[in-house]
Amino acid sequence: MIRLFLALVAASLAAGPIHAQVALSPGTPSILFWTPQQQSEWYRHIETVYRVETVARGERVHPLSSAGRTIDPTFSFAGRTYTVADYMDAYKVSGLLVLRDGKVVLERYGMGRKPTDRWTSFSVAKSITSTLVGAAIQDGRIKSLSSQVTDYIPELKGSAYEGVTVRQLLMMSSGVRWNEDYADPNSDVARAGVVGAGLASSVPGMNPIVAYMRTLPRANAPGAYFNYNTGETDLVGILVSKATGKGLAAYASEKIWKPYGMERDALWVVDGAGQERGGCCISMTLRDYGRFGQFMLDGGMARDRPVLPPDWAVEATSKQIDNGQQGLGYGYFWWMGPGGAYQATGIFGQSITTFRQDRVVIVINSAWPRATGRDLSAARAALIEALHKAAVEP
């Protein structure tokens, strides 16, 4: 079942408005089409390719101690037996981390990556953005999930977003019409990406993604249907910034990086307006991805103080809406899986998978040859299944 879950997730993942980030050099190729050499170099040094903001760490580092044992399972997939090392070589894995009860049972690096090297996450950023919504509610900056989107982004008044709540945005159920077809140059995801880079006309003084999104018509009643919409994840990032009066990087530093104890500054790619992208491209170390997973698993606590509202971490990572994937569902920018598993996922093989009941967190950073693919996802699912089983064995 976990294999089906991950395959379905990969099949519907969004790259995001892929031109929305601002390249530092003219002629930089689309991030969807980097060569293997470019992937290896630029995924770990995204700041040399795009404009970024820094998510500053604090003085304290949250320890990830050894569990006193190391797992090294083998598993079968597509008629072949793999070791962990075999899988990492075959599927271009730069980092693999498994935590059980907050302690390391497996940590490996590939592709020449060092423990101090960051790696970009693509849509894993969505799950971090939704967590910052929870922090803003805890801080009283966002009144509640029932608040209207237009309360925080007034430029959307009079648009199809009138009457849409924050919760409905987090569930991908605004009811606003959106086409996420990457093969169609006239799709919304393609057109919004061009606007986000400032390559098309926009409204002076208004964030380009807001200017684009407010032109979209309504297709369904708010909350009625799930429709994957990367533009709205960027919109949620803008909403958090407007509500808190801070950029996402600064707010993430204040609420998570410093108090929880991340080991290194993270980097967050910004759009043409200088706004961190709520839907894409935060870079951090492998262990810091693990720390974020553990932060959520432990209920959003930092130094014994709540960063998130009571039960937020469980609510956000539990099914809130049916997304048509075998009843597994979708939370607040988190994918649901069988057995209580939930996942933050990004294209080209990035994932944080958590098994709530067993208190296992599995982080994988990769440089797949393609953004998504059922074969790629099925192989990763087989690995995750083997790692989970090995982690919980006595």
- In this prediction, residue 4 carries a pLDDT of 46
pTM of the entire predicted model: 0.93
- In this prediction, residue 37 carries a pLDDT of 97
- In this prediction, residue 369 carries a pLDDT of 95
- In this prediction, residue 186 carries a pLDDT of 81
- In this prediction, residue 379 carries a pLDDT of 96
If one counts the domains in the chain, the total is 1
- Can you state the angle between helices 2-12 and 374-392, rounded to 10 degrees? 140
Ranges of the chain with pLDDT below 50: 4-19, 194-201
Q: Which domain holds residue 39?
A: 2-392
Q: What is the CATH number of the domain that holds 262?
A: 3.40.710.10
- In this prediction, residue 11 carries a pLDDT of 42
Q: Are 372 and 71 in contact (CB under 8 A)?
A: no
User: Residue 27 contacts by C-beta under 8 Å, 6 or more apart in sequence?
Assistant: none
- In this prediction, residue 2 carries a pLDDT of 52
